[in-house]
Amino acid sequence: MTAVPDYYYNDDPKSFGYSTARSRWPKILTQAIADAESVVGAPVRAAYIAGLESILDQINADATVAPFTDADVAANPSLATYNHSLASLNRQRQLTWQTGPWLYLECHLYAMIEALNLRLHANVDIFSRLKDSTFRQSAAGVAELAKHVNHLDTAPLDDDALALVFREFIDISLWGNATDLSLLAGGTTIDEIKSLQGKQVRKQNEQNILVNDIDAVWRQVRSKPPGRIDIVLDNSGFELLADLCLSVCLLSTNIATEVHLHCKEIPWFVSDTMPKDVDSLLHQLGDADFFPPDPELTTLQHTLRQYLDRGQLKVDHHPFWTLDLSFWHLPEANDLYEDLLESNLIIFKGDLNYRKLTGDRHWDPTTPFTTAIQQLASSKLPVVALRTCKADVVVGLAPGQWQEIANKYTAMGHDGHFWVASGKWAVIEFSPGDANKV
């Protein structure tokens, strides 16, 4: 049995956590403070801004990480899990913002913002302005995708044609993740983000999928009569649109009879999808003040509404997704686990979900995916990660592949070590859920 390696820590200059804690988090919070002017209601605005400023100060001062208060835990019982993890991590070494484990602290940061929200009864998504303004600028990519899915040939297709359509929309969903808003805090421009959205670019990017288990995923889907497919969503806006187009593809071709979308319950990692973001997107597709009027957008809006009304498309949420815990603990979240056992395939979108699948640990890059996801590999849940690489951890690579890509990234004029956090490469990694079959 492979020993489980240690976490990535924020004081390791070779970890992307190092610059995240020193540069990305402060930028994200500074933007949130500015946005509070328009997003937070006047009666609590000043207190909300003061709360965000205090979080920013604690990070910049590398303060000791404080547990949540009893009142905070009473308002949001999930925070008890955080306090439990924090106490246990503190037993190894006292956590401070710039030295502690990256994944735990990043989750703790967003849980703090939500605790502030609850304490003040502010009831806001502080990232909503940023979510909307970025989505609005994706108009060209949105129109292209809507047209594509609206004109999908749904006449009964033979198995080869179905496999092709499935691959294409999985690909669209995968690269939709390359556009997440947290990249903006790292200096990526809107134009660079938009350029990731076109069909041509997706084709070119195919060679950047370093591990591609799509054939095994397709075999998994076809091994059962058409049933339910789940998507554990990542970002709202363009990525959500790509995931909704994947859902339409699955339903309209009868590859699946139901698609369940799993959202976050609180504002999370800036751009993650909350249930209200699905509603907003549906509204925005038909809002002439948001996108230039386009019949393709209203057709897609109509199709999505129909699937929602018929219950074939479901919008779910669960507090488990915003705990600090790795997804190795999924079988302990009884109701969610029982529910997911009904699924033919669970698609995990994006970088953070991948970090949680692998525990965000220093796995050797050649470690099999089924080893890195630990007990999830024998949980009976068939899972696939669609992940563009935006953090340190990566598994399932061939011997020498990590270094080969690092050399390429160096030749592109970057610090080669950080290719893995650049968002330019991706992996599609599958576990059937039955460790014996692996």
Residues 99-128 vs ligand F6P: string with x where CB under 6 A?
-------x----------------------
20 makes contact, choosing from ligand F6P, Mg ion, none, with CB < 5 to 8 Å by partner type, with ligand F6P
DSSP type of residue 367: S
Residue 113 makes CB contacts below 8 A (sequence gap 6+) with: 32, 52, 55, 126, 267
Minimum CB distance to ligand F6P, residue 232 (Å):
11
Residues 15-54 vs ligand F6P: string with x where CB under 6 A?
-----x---x------------------------------
In the numeric block, which tokens belong to residue 205?
Answer: 């990017």
| Touching ligand F6P, residues 70-99 (CB under 6 A) | none
Minimum CB distance to Mg ion, residue 317 (Å):
15
Minimum CB distance to Mg ion, residue 201 (Å):
20
Residues 247-286 vs ligand F6P: string with x where CB under 6 A?
----------------------x-----------------
Burial class (CB in 10 A: 0-12, 13-18, 19+), 26: middle
Secondary element (H or E) of residue 228 = strand 227-232
Give the span between the Cα atoms of 438 and 298, in whole angstroms.
44
Q: What is the three-class DSSP state of 413?
A: coil
177 makes contact, choosing from ligand F6P, Mg ion, none, with CB < 5 to 8 Å by partner type, with ligand F6P
Neighbouring C-beta atoms of residue 139, cutoff 10 Å = 15
360 part of the interface to ligand F6P, by CB under 6 A: no
Give the span between the Cα atoms of 415 and 94, in whole angstroms.
31
Minimum CB distance to Mg ion, residue 127 (Å):
10
Q: Which is nearer to ligand F6P, 228 or 262 (CB)?
A: 262
| Touching ligand F6P, residues 147-206 (CB under 6 A) | 177, 180, 182
Burial 288-317 (b: 16+ CB within 10 A, else e): eebbeebebbebbbebbeebbeeebbebbb
272 part of the interface to Mg ion, by CB under 5 A: yes
Q: Tell me how far apart the terminal alpha carbons of the chain are, to the nearest angstrom.
A: 14
> Across-strand partners of 262?
232, 316
Q: Where are the alpha helices (DSSP H) in 151-274?
A: 159-176, 190-195, 199-205, 214-222, 238-252
With CA atoms as reference, report the closest residue to 285 among 124, 177, 138, 125. Answer: 138
Spatial contact of 249 and 242, defined as CB atoms under 8 Å apart: no
Of positions 35, 277, 351, 429, contacts ligand F6P by CB under 6 A? 351
Q: Which is nearer to ligand F6P, 10 or 182 (CB)?
A: 182
Largest CA distance in the chain: 61
Spatial contact of 233 and 273, defined as CB atoms under 8 Å apart: yes
Q: Which is nearer to ligand F6P, 195 or 299 (CB)?
A: 195
> Across-strand partners of 228?
258
391 makes contact, choosing from Mg ion, ligand F6P, none, with CB < 5 to 8 Å by partner type, with ligand F6P
For ligand F6P (CB under 6 A), the number of binding residues is 15
For Mg ion (CB under 5 A), the number of binding residues is 4
Of positions 81, 212, 235, 431, contacts ligand F6P by CB under 6 A? 235
Q: Which is nearer to ligand F6P, 186 or 416 (CB)?
A: 186
Spatial contact of 330 and 320, defined as CB atoms under 8 Å apart: yes
Residue 161: CA count within 13 A, CB half-sphere: 9
Minimum CB distance to ligand F6P, residue 150 (Å):
27
In the numeric block, which tokens belong to residue 376?
Answer: 């999830």
Measured at the CA of 242, the angle between CA 211 and CA 396, to 5 degrees, comes to: 15
Q: Which is nearer to ligand F6P, 26 or 226 (CB)?
A: 26
296 part of the interface to Mg ion, by CB under 5 A: no
Residue 16 makes CB contacts below 8 A (sequence gap 6+) with: 8, 102, 390, 391, 392, 418, 420, 421
Minimum CB distance to Mg ion, residue 352 (Å):
5
Residues 221-260 vs Mg ion: string with x where CB under 5 A?
-------------xx-------------------------
Minimum CB distance to ligand F6P, residue 260 (Å):
19
Instruction: Give residues in contact with Mg ion (CB under 5 A).
Output: 234-235, 269, 272
Instruction: Give residues in contact with ligand F6P (CB under 6 A).
Output: 20, 24, 106, 177, 180, 182, 234-235, 269, 350-352, 355, 390-391
